[in-house]
Amino acid sequence: MPEEPVLHPLKKVPTHVAIIMDGNGRWATSRGLPRLAGHRAGTENLRRIIRASVEFGVKYLTLYAFSTENWDRPRDEVEGLLHILEDVIDKELKELDQEGVRLQHIGHLEHLGPKLIEKIKHAIDLTKNNDRLVLNLAFSYGGRDEMICVIKRMIQDGLKPEAIDEAMVDRYLFTAGTPDPDLIIRTSGEIRISNFLIWQGAYSEWYFTPVLWPDFDRQEYHKALVAYGKRERRFGRVSSLKTVPCKNENAG
């Protein structure tokens, strides 16, 4: 196996990185393989991106694995994805725990089946005290659905309109207790948010790359973080960078 290249130190590291892992199906199709082979290749890539996150100093990593709309895909593909998720938990949980990764789930569990639900809950409980990296797995997740859940729970709790502000909404999100993503990466060349973290990502920096997810390796990840480090985050405010006034060519 070739040695990993030495990468330059990062000047600025985002606390929270979120990734839309796109392109598994196209990766497989381009190689004459079934789509599930692409999903398995994408799953194999999780390991190196998680390790790279720890190496680079990222504290929170959110991965968009399966949306609420993905349930409408062909049944054999959906069942294959659920099997892959179960397989990943079985094979990777022990090592992730040893590496200090805390697993969390955002989205809905009720559609996943009792056996898989139990494994996810066990993984969350086993790793709950780890603090090297918090890994949020967005599976059966959708941003609009999340906001509907927030509204319903607020109504159920009897909140009055004057009690509702941004901080209150944050408490009701699936990601409660997690800082908003500083950087959202989407692989495969698609340029859209696809119903992902629509509240939390309001002021996130975005990085779009044509690289398909199974090929998005440590070097590509580093390139995304380098690009992030060159940006100025203004959150709707005026730039703090000093500007040089234009020379008045009519001045005498």
With a cut of 70, say whether residue 3 has pLDDT above it.
no
169-172: long-range contacts, CB 8 A cutoff, minimum separation 24: 169/199
The pLDDT, as a whole number, for residue 172 is 98
Catalytic residue, chosen from 22, 24, 45, 136, is 22
Q: What percent of the chain has pLDDT over 70?
A: 92
For the record, the structure tokens of 122 come out as 């066990």
Closest CA to 102 of 178, 199, 162, 38: 178
Catalytic residue, chosen from 70, 97, 130, 145, is 70
pLDDT band at 233 (very low <50, low <70, confident <90, very high): confident
70 is an active site residue: yes
CB 225 within 8 A of CB 183: yes
Q: List, for residues 68-103, the tens digit of each pLDDT value.
A: 999 999 998 899 889 888 988 999 999 999 999 999
Q: List, for residues 20-48, the tens digit of each pLDDT value.
A: 999 999 999 999 999 999 999 999 999 99
Phi (first) and psi of residue 105, to 5 degrees: -115, 135
157 is an active site residue: no
With a cut of 90, say whether residue 240 has pLDDT above it.
no
With a cut of 90, say whether residue 1 has pLDDT above it.
no
The pLDDT, as a whole number, for residue 214 is 96
The pLDDT, as a whole number, for residue 251 is 43
For the record, the structure tokens of 244 come out as 């040089």
Q: What percent of the chain has pLDDT over 90?
A: 80
CA-CA distance, 167 to 173, in Å (whole number)?
10
Q: List, for residues 152-189, the tens digit of each pLDDT value.
A: 999 999 999 999 999 999 999 999 999 999 999 999 99
Q: Residue ranges of the domains in the chain? A: 16-229
The pLDDT, as a whole number, for residue 228 is 97
The pLDDT, as a whole number, for residue 113 is 87
With a cut of 80, say whether residue 137 has pLDDT above it.
yes
The pLDDT, as a whole number, for residue 250 is 46
The CATH fold of domain 16-229? Undecaprenyl pyrophosphate synthetase (3.40.1180)
For the record, the structure tokens of 170 come out as 């944050």
Q: Which pTM value belongs to this model?
A: 0.90
Q: Is 22 helix (H, G, I), strand (E, B) or coil?
A: coil
Residue 137 vs residues 32, 50, 140, 146, 200: alpha-carbon distances, Å: 29, 12, 9, 14, 15
Average pLDDT value over all residues in the chain: 91
**What's the rounded mean pLDDT across residues 119-126?**
96
